[in-house]
């Protein structure tokens, strides 16, 4: 009996050591972030994180423990095969998760969860997203880890089980059952009421330290099991009676607007250019005395430039409903992936279409990606132009047709389209893997230089488009809104809020004035209400969207990410910024004097917006 109980302990400890090693690999892979940690914090990562390692080890040990309970009734060779086969499969998938998690954090800033599974429905686009990652190095790492772990497991099983002898079922079976049942303690993390969750291992004000303490396979499995919400809001921070007051405080309005369009234009054409991953950081980036976005920077003097705009989310499938429906992004979900919910959203294309506008959506890639297509059809776009509408010879990106080709088709089509029109163009050239059909502008094979080259090409394509658009008959009767679908972590900033700061520019002959900069804080979700007010259409359905040109509108922006939110305010020209972690229930970054009321306002938005999503 002693040998079998000893095997159970060794098997459990194997998984614990495996996860400790995985944490070492994670910290090594992200060495630049790790260097910023103190030795005490690194110790805290392992000390707190081991509780989640115990939990995942407990889950993985259940089946082998159960097999050992009935081992007297199984041939020794068969028992060895069963336990090894189970463990090898587990090692394979756990190692795959560990390796993928390394790059997921590098790309998105959070540990692997069920989010990437949404994109497997569009494998070509999913591949395009990851193909810029160091795939060869990651694959080699996966193979090495798999071989080492499998060999260790094989040695543990053969060294122990080979020496077992038949023993009396009594008292072995009840004792082994006690060992099996005892796994509930590490699995739950304690004997207390609250079960294991991510916040259990959070211990620091440094968010990278907290994230490093999380066990990647545990986090992934938990997101699959708990990733779908019914009617229970996981972001319930404030009593319901205080929510209305907080929201009302944020949405003050005079129901009037400053008009920035020429008074004699009744129905201006409206064009939305949604620029992939366009971050304000890129517009300020200079490499070897070369500006990354020279065309956009020059065009700022020709229109109305909004310098303090924030994206609502961190992905295209969140940016589209934020812009076109004025709807806030969700931190752990995406409403566009659920047609039964997204179909209930108001959409600008419907409003313009019902008021005599022709409507169209242009994209050089596959609209099936992230369920965008269903959203566009529900939005009643009269024409949806996508990858299949371009000549295959122009599919010069893994995503499809590059920006220059899409802009050219847009111009050709709109030279003969009936006015007024509402048209949206979503770019793709500045998306991973950052392929561009022009010579390299910024030398370097690293990710940042690739991104900057792609951004330079996207900017060049925009500049050419605007130059040609000015020659069109519809230019003088048009307003063009240039806005990002979301920001980007590149170029890397110490402030997470910078990853969500995006530029917005209004151009076109329909504008009354140009060369104006608006520095009031506003959000992607405010575009819908603002543009509708300018063209004198009703915006009452867009209840999350503020009118930027209403003098009583308060300057603030709210954004969410996985798994937290940001809240930015502007009071007396002073910026107040906070980043709140929903798992650890704490502020992880802040700027300015942040009081309890500021936290409550951000929490109220998080709670109310997610409840609205659940209620759809």
Q: What is the pLDDT of residues 350-365, one digit of tens each?
A: 999 999 999 999 999 8
Residue 74, classified by CB atoms within 10 Å of its CB into exposed (0-12), middle (13-18) or buried (19+), is: middle
Residues of the chain with pLDDT under 50: 228
Sheet of strand 556-561: strand arrangement: 556-561, 564-571, 574-581, 586-591
Predicted pLDDT of residue 137: 80
- Enumerate residues 6+ apart whose C-beta is below 8 A from 37: 45, 206, 208, 209
Buried b (16+ CB within 10 A) or exposed e, 351-375: bbbeeebbbbbbbbbbbebbbbbbb
Specify the pLDDT at position 503.
96
Return the residue matching tokens 């709807």: 327
Side-chain half-sphere exposure of 61, counting CA atoms within 13 A: 29
Among 330, 333, 399, which Cα is nearest to 367's?
A: 399
Sign for the pseudo-dihedral over CA of 122, 124, 125, 128? positive
The pTM of the full predicted model, rounded to 2 decimals, is: 0.78
State the pLDDT at residue 526: 98
Cα angle 287, 293, 296 (rounded to 5 degrees) comes to 155
Q: Are 430 and 456 in contact (CB under 8 A)?
A: no
Q: How distant, in Å, are the alpha carbons of 56, 79, 373 from that of 178?
A: 19, 20, 54
Domain boundaries, the chain: 2-226, 253-553
Pairing mode, if any, of strands 304-310 and 516-518? Answer: parallel
Using an 8 Å Cβ cutoff, are 509 and 304 in contact?
no
CA dist 395 and 186 (Å) reads 52
What pLDDT is stored for residue 127 in this prediction? 52
Q: Count Cβ neighbours within 10 Å for each residue of 269-280 and write b for 16 or more, e otherwise.
A: bbbbbbbbbbbb
pLDDT of residue 583: 81
pLDDT at 83: 87
Q: How far is CA 546 from CA 276, 383, 418, 464, in A?
A: 23, 29, 30, 32
User: Quick check: 387 and 364 in contact, CB under 8 A?
Assistant: yes
List the one residue out of 440, 461, 454 whose CA is nearest residue 398: 454
Distance in angstroms (rounded) separating the CA atoms of residues 616 and 610: 10
Class of the CATH domain delimited by 253-553: alpha beta
């Amino acid at each position: 009996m002693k040998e079998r109980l000893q095997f159970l302990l060794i098997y459990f400890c194997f998984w614990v050591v495996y996860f400790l090693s995985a944490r070492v690999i994670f910290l090594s892979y992200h060495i630049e972030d790790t260097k910023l940690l103190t030795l005490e914090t690194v110790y805290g990562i392992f000390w707190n994180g081991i509780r989640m390692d115990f939990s995942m080890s407990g889950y993985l040990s259940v089946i082998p423990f159960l097999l050992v309970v009935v081992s007297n009734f199984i041939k020794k060779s068969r028992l060895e095969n069963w336990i090894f086969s189970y463990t090898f499969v587990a090692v394979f998938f756990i190692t795959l998760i560990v390796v993928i998690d390394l790059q997921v954090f590098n790309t998105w800033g959070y540990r692997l969860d069920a989010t990437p599974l949404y994109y497997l429905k569009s494998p070509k686009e999913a591949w395009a997203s990851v193909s810029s990652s160091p795939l060869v190095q990651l694959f080699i790492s996966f193979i090495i880890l798999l071989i080492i772990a499998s060999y260790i497991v094989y040695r543990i099983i053969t060294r122990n089980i080979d020496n077992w002898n038949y023993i009396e079922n009594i008292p072995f079976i009840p004792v082994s059952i006690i060992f099996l049942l005892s796994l509930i303690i590490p699995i739950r993390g304690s004997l207390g009421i609250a079960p294991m969750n991510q916040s259990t291992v959070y211990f620091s004000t440094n968010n990278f330290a907290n994230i490093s303490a999380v066990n990647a396979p545990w986090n992934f499995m938990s997101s699959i099991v708990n990733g779908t919400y019914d009617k229970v809001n996981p972001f319930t921070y404030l009593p319901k009676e205080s929510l209305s007051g907080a929201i009302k405080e944020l949405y003050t309005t005079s129901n009037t607007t400053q008009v920035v369009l020429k008074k004699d234009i009744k129905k201006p054409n409206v064009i939305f250019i949604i620029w992939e991953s366009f971050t304000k950081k890129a517009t300020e980036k200079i490499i070897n005395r070369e500006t990354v976005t020279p065309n956009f920077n020059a065009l700022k003097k020709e229109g109305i430039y909004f310098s303090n705009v924030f994206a609502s989310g961190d992905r295209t499938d969140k940016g589209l409903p934020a812009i076109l429906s004025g709807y806030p992004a969700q931190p752990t979900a995406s409403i566009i992936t659920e047609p039964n919910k997204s179909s209930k959203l108001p959409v600008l294309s419907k409003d313009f279409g019902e008021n005599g506008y022709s409507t169209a959506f242009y994209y050089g890639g596959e609209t099936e990606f992230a369920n965008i297509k269903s959203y566009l059809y529900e939005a009643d776009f009269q024409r949806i132009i996508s990858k299949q509408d371009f000549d295959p010879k122009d599919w010069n990106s893994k995503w499809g047709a590059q920006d220059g080709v899409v802009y050219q088709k847009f111009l050709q089509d709109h030279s003969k389209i009936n006015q007024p029109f509402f048209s949206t163009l979503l770019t793709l050239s500045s998306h991973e893997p950052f392929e561009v059909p022009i010579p390299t502008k910024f030398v370097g094979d690293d990710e940042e230089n690739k991104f900057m080259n792609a951004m330079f090409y996207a900017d060049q394509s925009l500049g050419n488009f605007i130059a040609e658009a000015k020659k069109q008959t519809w230019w003088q009767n048009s307003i063009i809104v240039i806005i990002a679908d979301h920001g980007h972590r590149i170029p890397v900033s110490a402030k997470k809020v910078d990853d969500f700061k995006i530029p917005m520019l209004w151009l076109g002959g329909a504008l009354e004035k140009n060369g104006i900069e608006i520095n009031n804080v506003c959000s992607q979700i405010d575009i819908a209400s603002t543009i509708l007010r300018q063209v004198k259409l009703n915006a009452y359905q867009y209840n999350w969207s503020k009118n930027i040109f209403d003098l009583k509108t308060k300057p603030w922006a709210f954004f969410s990410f996985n798994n937290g939110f940001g809240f930015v305010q502007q009071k007396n020209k002073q910026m107040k910024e906070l980043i709140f972690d929903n798992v650890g229930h704490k502020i992880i970054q802040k700027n300015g004097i942040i009081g309890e009321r500021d936290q409550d306002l951000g929490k109220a938005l998080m709670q109310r917006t997610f409840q609205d999503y659940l209620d759809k």
